Amino acid sequence: MATTFECKKLCNVCFVFGIFVKKQQLNHKTHLKLKKILPKATFLMEQDKKILVKCGGFSTQLAKHVGSKIDGDPLWGSRFDHENPSAVVRTHLDFLENGAQIILSNTYQSSVQGFMKHLKLSREQSIALMRKSVQLAKEARDLYLKNVVEKGGTTETILVMGSVGPYGAMLHDGSEYCGSYTDKVSKEEFQSFHRIRIDALLEENVDGLSVETIPCQKEAEAVTEILLRDYAHVKFWISFQCKDDLHLAHGENFANAAKAVWDMIKKKHGAKAKDHIYGIGVNCVNPNFVANLFKSLHTLLGNEDLPPLVVYSNRGEIYDADKGEWTGLDDCIPMESYVPDWIRLGATIIGGCCRVYPEDILQIRKCVDSFGNNNELSSFNNKLN
């Protein structure tokens, strides 16, 4: 029997005990009573999903190693797969050594158009550079695991995902944060743009694709369509950029857009849909928006029909495009303080995006592990004490 939610407030308490108290109808008052008598840990033990921690803001950390300003570069971090590959490996290692279980190829802003224009590469060389980015991530993973073994530690599975940034990243005008290109680009144009990089990443046998920072429903559906049709064996996540706690950057309702993608996946894979994706979610959003975005999806879908959720927000600072810098750091609170809420709301992949550093990822990992769902001994367990 399905768990049923009577509470209209959709508060965290309701979600907590909605998961814990199976097969019962609960109202908000009942939830509040239960909160007093049941320990939080009971709920957490009920969760059977293992939560994985993703790395943080790659280009943010990369900037520490390359000694030059990356924000503002038309190729952003992707330039350094070509110009400073050892710094790219070092950056991946920074996150792995601080508890990341998922790293992404440095291909967010990689495109044939961008590499031809700004690096003077041929089409073939551009595609080869995208493949090299996966090789660098795998090199870092292998190096990390080798170090763990040599130090007598216990290894854990590390996923290397291929980053599929939005069409707007190639334009390098910040338009992935408003989706202004949405109506000027056809579905077919979106698909042929993304297909080149998807093919390159898959040639290098990534563990999956992270389709990320997508500002509009149209682009999300276009990519999902070709993934389901032409790459049905590939596991992926779709992650939206949102401008507030209800809407995508381009203005569509987040819950409706996420549902549209989820419906496509369910139509293709039926009852096994959840096994074919890492999740649907949000990234590079203000962390203060995430809980309400997820709650809106709960409201629309009900808790039984929810896909696995992915979240890797930015720190909550504001990017000033004119100045080319981030502002508002003083208003931010520690990233890990958001994690319990995100877990309660169904997040199964949690990490960081822009301005989230390895030390933040370590705190997020500590928080995820403290909930008791990452029971494997890992190489950095000593850091958790």
Q: List binding-site positions for Zn(2+).
A: 284, 353-354
- The interface region with Zn ion, picked from 2-10, 126-134, 346-354, 374-382 by CB under 5 A, is 346-354
Q: Which of residues 188-247 bind Zn ion (CB under 5 A)?
A: none
Question: What's the rounded Cα separation, in Å, for the pair 59 and 262?
Answer: 30
8 Å CB contact between 55 and 92:
yes
The yes or no reply on residue 127 touching Zn ion (CB under 5 A) is: no
Given a contact cutoff of 8 angstroms between Cβ atoms, the answer to whether 50 and 156 are in contact is no
Q: How far is the CB of 253 from Zn ion (least distance, A)?
A: 22
Q: How far is the CB of 242 from Zn ion (least distance, A)?
A: 12
Q: Positive or negative CA dihedral for 257, 263, 266, 271?
A: positive
Distance CA(7)–CA(358), nearest Å, equals 38
Among the residue ranges 77-85, 111-119, 168-176, 277-285, the one whose residues contact Zn ion (CB under 5 A):
277-285
Query: Which of these ranges, 2-10, 167-175, 179-187, 352-360, lies near Zn ion under the rule CB under 5 A?
Result: 352-360
Write down the least CB distance from residue 227 to Zn ion, Å.
22
Partnered with residue 326 across adjacent β-strands are: 319
Closer to Zn ion by CB, 180 or 373: give it: 180
Q: Are 360 and 352 in contact (CB under 8 A)?
A: yes
**Full 3-state SS string of 285-301:** CCHHHHHHHHHHHHHHH
Among 169, 353, 367, 368, binds Zn ion (CB under 5 A): 353
List Cβ neighbours of 323 (8 Å cut-off, separation of 6 or more).
none
How many residues at the interface with Zn ion, by CB under 5 A?
3
Q: Which C-beta is closer to Zn ion: that of 105 or that of 191?
A: 105
Output the smallest distance, CB 177 to Zn ion, in A.
9
Name the residue nearer to Zn ion (CB basis): 298 or 315. 315
State the virtual CA torsion across 88, 92, 93, 98 in degrees, nearest 10. Answer: 150
Q: Which range of residues in 15-23, 86-94, 102-110, 354-362 is near Zn ion by CB under 5 A? A: 354-362
Q: How far is the CB of 168 from Zn ion (least distance, A)?
A: 13
Residues 279-308 that bind Zn ion (CB under 5 A): 284
3-state helix/strand/coil string of 71-90: CCCCCHHHHHHHHCHHHHHH
SS3 state at 209: strand
354 contributes a contact to Zn ion by CB under 5 A: yes
Q: Strand order in 309-313's β-sheet?
A: 52-53, 347-352, 309-313, 277-283, 236-240, 208-214, 159-164, 102-104
Q: Is 249 one of the binding residues for Zn ion (CB under 5 A)?
A: no
Q: Tell me the closest approach of the beta carbon of residue 337 to Zn ion, in angstroms.
A: 19
Query: How far is Cα 104 from Cα 92, in angstroms, rounded to an integer?
Result: 8
Q: Which is nearer to Zn ion, 7 or 171 (CB)?
A: 171
Q: Give the binding range for Zn ion (CB under 5 A) out of 25-33, 81-89, 191-199, 349-357.
A: 349-357
* Complex with Zn ion: residue 18 or 316, whichever CB lies closer: 316
Nearest approach, Cβ of residue 291 and Zn ion (Å)? 19
Binding residue numbers: 284, 353-354
Angle at 317 between CA 313 and CA 319, to 5 degrees: 105
Strand-pairing partners, residue 103, are 160
Q: Is the Cβ of residue 178 or residue 354 nearer to Zn ion in the bound state?
A: 354
Nearest CB to Zn ion, comparing residues 197 and 344: 197
Alpha-carbon distance of 267 to 137, in angstroms, equals 33
Residue 13 or 284: the one with the smaller Cβ distance to Zn ion is: 284
Question: Nearest distance from residue 312's CB to Zn ion, in Å?
Answer: 8
Of the candidates 334, 288, 331, 328, the residue with the CA atom closest to the CA atom of residue 311: 288
Contact positions vs Zn ion (CB under 5 A):
284, 353-354
